């Protein structure tokens, strides 16, 4: 309906760097300097379904959420929250949008992260992993949700690039195999166990392990930016995230020996921080 134009998003979210995506993002550092922001977005805390229900009005068209927040600090949205959102959206005729740009395409051990909760979106964004390193993104939608987006209503100059689509099809063919996803889960368990050991061994540096599958984070007690620099000195590339988290997203086909080596370098990184 034409008068339903508002979107509910969540604190800590990151949805990209286009005008609309910036407005949907829910952290000051992600929107600072890009004003005036596009109106129509309301940011809430996920998990507070009473507040979400109260925020949905006759003008609300959609709820957008990352099943696992990446930039927001590797925060996994609990299954019951995703189920509650699905029920609420069904009840109110609101579209449910999942942003799986970081957490999708095998990253969590299932093809898409929302599968762990057994719920499905009306619209989903995927990118990064779908190209296996080749620049590619896609918006997927149910037939009902896509009914208003007929040919000619929207597009992009390079959309539907044949080479990109061919790469994406091959990536999906490989990643969707049960054996591949099982290997991701096995490697994730190895990595997580090692990270838990680092938390136990270096309690003044690391606080806790976050994440699901191979989208992992170390909640830090020391400054995450200092740890990134110390890791770089050990020839290990890491990325900081919000809430003082160290983000760890290795290649899904990472050899188990490389996980062992990465853990050893993280151990030496922690020793550098402790000695500083």
Does 2 score more than 80 pLDDT? no
| Entry field: residues in the chain | 276
Does 84 score more than 80 pLDDT? yes
pLDDT tens for 185-198 read 999 999 999 999 99
Residue extents of the structural domains in the chain: 6-175, 178-275
pLDDT at 1: 62
Determine the straight-line distance between the first and last CA of the chain, rounded to whole angstroms. Answer: 59
Q: At what angle do helices 256-275 and 224-233 cross, to 10 degrees?
A: 120
Does 47 score more than 90 pLDDT? no
CB of 124 within 8 A of CB of 115?
no
Q: What is the mean pLDDT of residues 256-271?
A: 98
pLDDT tens for 93-129 read 999 999 999 999 999 999 999 999 999 999 999 999 9
Indicate whether this model's pTM tops 0.85.
yes
As a whole-number percent, the residues of the chain with pLDDT over 70 amount to 100
Domain boundaries 178-275, CATH class: alpha beta
Q: Please, which residues bridge with residue 68 across strands?
A: 76
Q: What is the mean pLDDT of residues 218-233?
A: 98
Residue 254 structure tokens: 């990472």
Does 160 score more than 80 pLDDT? yes
The least confident of 2-11, 82-91, 213-222 is 2-11
- Could you please state the CATH topology (level 3) that the domain comprising 6-175 is classified under: 3.40.640
Report the alpha-carbon distance of residue 217 to residue 195 in Å, rounded: 9
pLDDT at 27: 78
Average pLDDT, the chain: 94
């Amino acid at each position: 309906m034409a008068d339903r134009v508002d979107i509910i998003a969540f604190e800590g979210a990151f949805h990209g760097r286009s005008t609309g995506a910036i407005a949907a993002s829910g952290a000051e550092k992600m929107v600072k300097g890009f004003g005036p922001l596009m109106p129509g977005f309301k940011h809430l805390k996920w998990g507070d379904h009473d507040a979400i229900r109260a925020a949905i009005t006759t003008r609300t068209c959609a709820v957008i959420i990352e099943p696992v927040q990446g930039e927001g600090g590797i925060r996994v949205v609990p299954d019951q929250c995703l189920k509650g959102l699905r029920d609420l959206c069904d009840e109110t005729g609101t579209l449910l949008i999942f942003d799986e740009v970081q957490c999708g395409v095998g990253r969590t051990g299932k093809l898409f992260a929302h599968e762990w909760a057994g719920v499905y979106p009306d619209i989903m964004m995927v990118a990064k992993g779908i190209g296996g390193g080749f620049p590619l993104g896609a918006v997927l939608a149910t037939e009902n949700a896509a009914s208003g987006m007929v040919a000619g209503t929207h597009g992009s100059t390079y959309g539907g690039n044949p080479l990109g689509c061919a790469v994406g099809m091959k990536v999906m063919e490989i990643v969707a195999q049960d054996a591949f996803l099982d290997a991701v889960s096995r490697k994730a368990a190895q990595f997580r166990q090692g990270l838990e050991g680092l938390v136990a061994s270096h309690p003044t540096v690391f606080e806790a392990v976050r994440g699901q599958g191979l989208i992992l984070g170390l909640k830090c007690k020391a400054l995450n930016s200092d740890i990134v620099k110390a890791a770089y000195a050990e020839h290990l590339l890491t990325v900081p995230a919000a809430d003082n988290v160290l983000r760890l997203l290795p290649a899904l086909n990472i050899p188990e020996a490389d996980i062992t080596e990465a853990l050893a370098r993280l151990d030496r990184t922690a020793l550098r921080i402790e000695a500083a």
